[in-house]
Amino acid sequence: MTDIIDMANTKPADLSVPVAQQGSEAQDPNTGTGRKQPVREAIIRAAELARGAEEHARDRQHAKGKHTARERLDLLFDTDTFQELGRFAGGDIAKGKAGSAVITGFGEIYGRKVGVYAQDFSVRGGTLGAAEGTKICRLMDMALEMKIPVVALIDSGGARIQEGVAALTQYGRIFRKTCEASGFIPQISVILGPCAGGAVYCPALTDLIVMTKENSNMFVTGPDVVKAATGETISMDELGGGYVHNSKSGVAHYLGEDEADAIDYARTVLAYLPSNSEQQAPSYAYASGHAEQEAAKRLKTIIPENDRQPYDVMDVIRAIVDYGEFVQVQELFAQSAVVGFACIAGSPVGIVANQPAVSAGILDVDASEKVARFVRMCDAFNLPVITLVDVPGYKPGSDQEHAGIIRRGAKVIYAYANAQVPMVTVILRKAFGGAYIVMGSKAIGADMNFAWPTSQIAVLGATGAVNIIHRKDLQKAKEAGQDVDELRDRLAAEYEASTVNANLSLEMGEIDAMIDPEQTREVIEESLATLATKRRVKHTSKHHGNQPL
């Protein structure tokens, strides 16, 4: 689409010259000969305003190490695919006002249509007023009708104070539109500047939030308000910078090195998701070969013989997904769990795994919420869920109980129990207690469950179980002067041989098959092919469940 800025270099119409000799060239429908059309002076004036506004934006944004809103759109969309809506809406061309503080429109990402609204900090600090709210809501209405994703590029000073309640009302409208779109079309927010006050809940309601290491901030109350209210002195980055929200709060899902990296992550994630919940995710050409065979062989060497020795579950994931490519979500948050997107035989899937390299892969309040939210997103957008289990249980301690491990841990149960996409689970090493049940067990709703030969499934690990079951025997041995440790080890070995292995689960049908590590990818691929025709079923007439929040 030709940008109106190009018109700024066109001369205005000369009314003393016949129409046939001035302006732009067109074909006469009667004669078939070329004729000239006049270029309205107002159009040229608008083009000059647009060009001046972009020059002003470059001067302001580049000085801060930031791109302009239009430069960000160039990074987001495939070349020459952006089509703008209402460029001058909210402006006043006669008075030299180019437009509002937000750009809205549609473009293509990897050939698929996507809606966008990009806040322009060079116009009134990117603040939101009636004109901006109207443009954003119109964009979202159209995206819902077209059933396409929406990306928000956020860089704003918040509500426009001069417009008072009228500005706040627009946030309410946007919140409601975002909730209406939730689970129906993918929504991604990229924070490329300030996002403060009530404005933070626009991105908070979307599926994914992407931030950058520099210039990206989110907080409900800023440093000045915090200091006035509590006396605490804190910087913007320490309060709500990109690293804080990626590693501590869990608000954000990816920390970009810079704006280009952050926007590229949004593009990448959309490649794994369908345009809406009524469609299946796009599929890609894939042909397995020697690399997959070598990767399968590596699987049998990854897990140490010592069941207490850690390993990196990322090595397992990369060995079973296409080309070893895995796009992590919330990589810096709750690192005892790993979640993200990958492809199996060209079809996108969601991967959920415990991470033994961090706190033995234990489930705590943060890891529970991380897993639950990701499973819900996969279920909303028809991505099969592959769960790789190596979990010793829920994290014990008063801090976890007081932080709400019961309420927040229940979110994992709710997510898996309500998911209706294909679900395949592989137990890599151990699955103990309640954590075994919630991590994609057959009892909670998984379709196909497998286990590696050395896997352990039980209420407790052998040593913990022996300490409880044989407490009196151990006490008597101690009183009799016997070697208590030797007795505990012997009892633990007996318990492990009879109870902790996966045989009981196999016999009960909770595990469908014991597989060699090298078979893992093949078995997952075959399972997904079998489950390809699985469809959603509405079991009751309820409006919705009452999820623990």
Whether residue 360 lies in the annotated active site: no
Q: Compute the distance between CA of residue 223 and CA of residue 236 in angstroms, rounded to an integer.
A: 6
Where on the phi/psi map is residue 324: left (φ > 0), alpha (ψ -120 to 50), or beta? left
Q: Are 447 and 405 in contact (CB under 8 A)?
A: no
Q: Compute the distance between CA of residue 20 and CA of residue 33 in angstroms, rounded to an integer.
A: 11
Whether residue 105 lies in the annotated active site: no
Q: Which residues contact 60 (CB under 8 A, 6 or more apart)?
A: 121, 122
Where does residue 294 rank: exposed (0-12), middle (13-18), buried (19+ CB within 10 A)?
exposed
Catalytic site residue from 198, 222, 445, 464: 198
Q: Are 133 and 160 in contact (CB under 8 A)?
A: no
Catalytic site residue from 334, 435, 446, 502: 435
- Helices 520-530 and 313-320, axial angle in degrees (round to 10): 60
Q: Are 165 and 130 in contact (CB under 8 A)?
A: no
Q: Are 168 and 199 in contact (CB under 8 A)?
A: no
Q: Are 520 and 320 in contact (CB under 8 A)?
A: yes
Sign of the dihedral defined by the CA atoms of residues 468, 470, 472, 476, in that order: negative
- Total residues found in the chain within this entry: 549
Q: Compute the distance between CA of residue 274 and CA of residue 361 in angstroms, rounded to an integer.
A: 31
Catalytic site residue from 404, 434, 445, 464: 434
| Residue type, position 56, single letter | H
Q: Compute the distance between CA of residue 4 and CA of residue 259 in angstroms, rounded to an integer.
A: 26
Longest dimension (CA), the chain: 119
Q: Compute the distance between CA of residue 214 and CA of residue 237 in angstroms, rounded to an integer.
A: 9
- Helices 290-302 and 520-530, axial angle in degrees (round to 10): 110
Task: Find residue 209's DSSP bridge partners.
Answer: 189
| Residue type, position 162, single letter | Q
Q: Is 118 helix (H, G, I), strand (E, B) or coil?
A: strand
The CA–CA distances, whole Å, from 95 to 49, 124, 130, 446 equal: 10, 16, 19, 63
Chain position carrying tokens 């308000």: 225
Q: Are 229 and 223 in contact (CB under 8 A)?
A: no
Whether residue 435 lies in the annotated active site: yes
Catalytic site residue from 129, 197, 242, 350: 197
Q: Which token pair is 64? A: 């801060």
Q: Which residues contact 403 (CB under 8 A, 6 or more apart)?
A: 365
Q: Are 391 and 436 in contact (CB under 8 A)?
A: yes
Q: Compute the distance between CA of residue 395 and CA of residue 464 in angstroms, rounded to an integer.
A: 14
Distance from the Cα of residue 334 to its chain's centroid: 15
Residues designated catalytic: 197-198, 434-435
